[in-house]
Amino acid sequence: MSLKIICAILVLALASLACGFSFNLPERPTPGPEVTDEINIAVPGEGTMQLQLDFNAGELQVGPGAGTQLVHGTATYNLPELKPEVTTSGTSVRVKQGNFELENIPRYRDLSNRWEMQLGDRPIDLAVNGGAYEATYDLGGLSLASLYIKDGAANVELAFDSPNKIEMGVLRYETGASKVEMLGLANANFHTLVFDAGAGSYTLDFSGELKRDATITLRAGFSTIELRIPQNVNAVVMVDSGLSNVSMGGSWDKSGDRYTQIGSGPTLNFVIDIGAGFLRLTE
């Protein structure tokens, strides 16, 4: 029997088998009218609170204003599966977007999902797990002991327009291919800042009141990064990669891969590792 005949028999056999099967594909949920839920979370104990926000997609706003509560805010959505869930264990609180799997969320053109969260006055270790979302963080005037944000392809503006009320140990930000602008970072009062990013556009502005020496480690792929450091601030920037596209203003001095600015008071110490792209040192 020739090879062509054998192949034809196999094709016919598979076709006949396929006719005996049916596939029930899951129906795509249909967005409905918007629903707004209030989220009010009391302080669950003494000491520093651990607050985690899990927000996969949509619009997120976080700021001060909850007073003696841990969280006061609203969640607006038009898909029941996006209803937020709150779990508490001791001094740890987690606010999570519902159990809906959001891998295909770009296909939902009419989807609405917005969180507006106000945080209270107690010391907080704040962690945010984000996805493909837009976020505005207005964190000035809070008492953040630490801050950890991890997101995917995001458009984010984060600002400390007034001083953090307590010393922050570590501020860590991990992101994918995003646009992120961080303003007033001296007001965050951190000891260590770690910024890990993929390709994207990133602005880190260190205006504000710098109260102590701080270390900043910045790692990124093919990116455009702007460091805004006021002219009167001591700063040392070490570029640990082969990056040659570094531009700097008139107050900076260069010696090899070391860039320095002489000011007064505490010092910002930077270690920069960029695979490729552009680094700008500005005021």
Over residues 112-166, the pLDDT tens digits come to: 999 999 999 999 999 999 988 999 999 999 999 999 999 998 999 999 999 999 9
CA distance 85 to 54: 10
Over residues 253-266, the pLDDT tens digits come to: 999 889 999 999 99
CA distance 42 to 77: 23
Over residues 186-208, the pLDDT tens digits come to: 999 999 999 999 989 999 999 99
Q: Break the chain into its structural domains and give their ranges.
A: 30-123, 139-283
